[in-house]
Amino acid sequence: MKACNQCGKCCINYSDGGLSASREEINWWETFRPNISKYVAEGKIWMDPDTGQQLKRCPWLAELPEKKYSCSIYHDRPEDCRHYPVEISQMIQDDCEMLELRDITDHREAQKKLDKIMSDSRPAIGE
Protein backbone atom coordinates (compact mmCIF):
# COMPACT_ATOMS: atom_id res chain seq x y z
CA MET A 1 0.00 0.00 0.00
CA LYS A 2 1.29 3.41 -0.96
CA ALA A 3 1.10 6.55 1.14
CA CYS A 4 -1.80 8.87 0.48
CA ASN A 5 -1.01 11.09 -2.50
CA GLN A 6 -3.81 13.58 -1.77
CA CYS A 7 -5.79 12.68 -4.90
CA GLY A 8 -8.96 13.87 -3.14
CA LYS A 9 -11.16 11.04 -4.44
CA CYS A 10 -12.42 10.16 -0.96
CA CYS A 11 -13.44 13.75 -0.22
CA ILE A 12 -14.95 14.30 -3.64
CA ASN A 13 -16.86 10.98 -3.59
CA TYR A 14 -18.50 11.54 -0.21
CA SER A 15 -18.77 15.27 0.38
CA ASP A 16 -22.14 15.75 -1.35
CA GLY A 17 -24.29 14.23 1.37
CA GLY A 18 -22.37 11.04 2.03
CA LEU A 19 -20.94 12.28 5.32
CA SER A 20 -22.41 13.01 8.70
CA ALA A 21 -21.32 14.59 11.96
CA SER A 22 -22.34 13.71 15.48
CA ARG A 23 -24.37 16.07 17.63
CA GLU A 24 -21.22 16.49 19.78
CA GLU A 25 -19.15 17.53 16.75
CA ILE A 26 -21.80 19.98 15.63
CA ASN A 27 -22.10 21.45 19.14
CA TRP A 28 -18.32 21.85 19.30
CA TRP A 29 -18.26 23.62 15.93
CA GLU A 30 -21.09 25.91 17.05
CA THR A 31 -19.11 26.89 20.14
CA PHE A 32 -15.54 26.97 18.86
CA ARG A 33 -15.68 27.00 15.05
CA PRO A 34 -18.74 28.95 13.89
CA ASN A 35 -17.19 29.20 10.43
CA ILE A 36 -17.66 25.42 10.17
CA SER A 37 -21.08 25.28 11.84
CA LYS A 38 -22.56 27.70 9.32
CA TYR A 39 -22.36 24.80 6.82
CA VAL A 40 -24.63 22.65 9.04
CA ALA A 41 -28.41 22.66 8.64
CA GLU A 42 -30.82 20.45 10.55
CA GLY A 43 -27.98 18.12 11.54
CA LYS A 44 -26.73 17.69 7.96
CA ILE A 45 -23.26 18.83 7.01
CA TRP A 46 -21.89 20.76 4.07
CA MET A 47 -25.07 22.63 3.36
CA ASP A 48 -25.06 25.98 1.54
CA PRO A 49 -25.47 28.62 4.27
CA ASP A 50 -27.49 30.86 1.92
CA THR A 51 -29.86 28.36 0.32
CA GLY A 52 -29.84 25.45 2.77
CA GLN A 53 -29.20 23.07 -0.15
CA GLN A 54 -26.64 20.25 -0.04
CA LEU A 55 -23.34 21.40 -1.53
CA LYS A 56 -21.94 19.25 -4.33
CA ARG A 57 -18.46 19.40 -2.80
CA CYS A 58 -17.07 19.87 0.68
CA PRO A 59 -16.42 23.58 1.28
CA TRP A 60 -13.19 22.70 3.11
CA LEU A 61 -11.57 20.76 0.26
CA ALA A 62 -8.85 22.97 -1.16
CA GLU A 63 -7.38 22.20 -4.56
CA LEU A 64 -3.60 22.41 -4.66
CA PRO A 65 -1.32 22.51 -7.69
CA GLU A 66 -0.95 19.32 -9.74
CA LYS A 67 -4.50 18.08 -8.96
CA LYS A 68 -3.77 17.48 -5.28
CA TYR A 69 -6.18 18.31 -2.47
CA SER A 70 -6.00 19.38 1.14
CA CYS A 71 -8.54 19.67 3.95
CA SER A 72 -8.62 23.16 5.42
CA ILE A 73 -10.33 21.89 8.61
CA TYR A 74 -8.22 18.74 8.92
CA HIS A 75 -7.88 18.88 12.73
CA ASP A 76 -11.58 19.69 13.17
CA ARG A 77 -13.00 17.42 10.45
CA PRO A 78 -15.89 15.09 11.29
CA GLU A 79 -15.29 11.58 12.54
CA ASP A 80 -16.59 10.19 9.22
CA CYS A 81 -13.59 11.82 7.56
CA ARG A 82 -11.16 10.76 10.30
CA HIS A 83 -12.16 7.11 9.90
CA TYR A 84 -11.94 6.91 6.12
CA PRO A 85 -10.86 4.55 4.67
CA VAL A 86 -12.23 1.74 6.81
CA GLU A 87 -12.12 -1.28 4.51
CA ILE A 88 -10.12 -2.30 1.46
CA SER A 89 -13.35 -2.97 -0.47
CA GLN A 90 -14.33 0.67 0.10
CA MET A 91 -10.96 1.81 -1.27
CA ILE A 92 -11.38 -0.39 -4.34
CA GLN A 93 -14.88 0.97 -4.95
CA ASP A 94 -13.57 4.55 -4.64
CA ASP A 95 -10.59 3.87 -6.93
CA CYS A 96 -8.21 4.93 -4.15
CA GLU A 97 -4.72 5.61 -5.45
CA MET A 98 -3.09 4.22 -2.29
CA LEU A 99 -3.84 0.67 -3.45
CA GLU A 100 -1.30 -1.51 -5.15
CA LEU A 101 -2.04 -4.70 -7.10
CA ARG A 102 -1.09 -6.91 -4.16
CA ASP A 103 -3.60 -5.04 -1.96
CA ILE A 104 -6.37 -5.90 -4.40
CA THR A 105 -5.41 -9.57 -4.56
CA ASP A 106 -4.79 -10.06 -0.82
CA HIS A 107 -7.47 -8.12 1.06
CA ARG A 108 -6.53 -9.62 4.43
CA GLU A 109 -2.92 -8.38 4.33
CA ALA A 110 -3.98 -5.09 2.83
CA GLN A 111 -6.51 -4.59 5.64
CA LYS A 112 -3.76 -5.17 8.22
CA LYS A 113 -1.63 -2.51 6.53
CA LEU A 114 -4.56 -0.13 6.32
CA ASP A 115 -5.43 -0.63 10.00
CA LYS A 116 -1.83 0.17 10.92
CA ILE A 117 -1.78 3.29 8.74
CA MET A 118 -5.08 4.47 10.25
CA SER A 119 -4.25 3.53 13.84
CA ASP A 120 -4.05 7.18 14.93
CA SER A 121 -7.50 7.94 13.44
CA ARG A 122 -9.74 4.95 14.11
CA PRO A 123 -9.89 1.50 15.70
CA ALA A 124 -8.64 -1.48 13.69
CA ILE A 125 -11.29 -3.64 12.03
CA GLY A 126 -9.18 -6.32 10.37
CA GLU A 127 -8.59 -8.39 13.49
For residue range 47-81, list pLDDT tens digits in order. 999 999 999 999 999 999 999 999 999 999 999 89
Domain presence at residue 3 = no
Please give the share of the chain, as a percent, with pLDDT higher than 90: 65
Band (126; pLDDT cuts 50, 70, 90): low
Q: Which of 82, 120, 95, 118 is nearest to 3 (CA)?
A: 118
Flag whether 126 is in a domain: no
3-state secondary structure the chain: CCCCCCCCHHHHHHCCCCCCCCHHHHHHHHHHCHHHHCCEECCEECECCCCCCECCCCCCEEEEHHHEEEECCHHHCCHHHHHCCCCHHHHHHCCCCCCCHHHHHCHHHHHHHHHHHCCCCCCCCCC
Question: Is residue 2, in this structure, part of any structural domain at all?
Answer: no
pLDDT-based confidence at residue 118 (cuts at 50, 70, 90): confident
Structural domain total, the chain: 1
| pTM, entire model | 0.82
**Domain range for residue 77?**
9-117
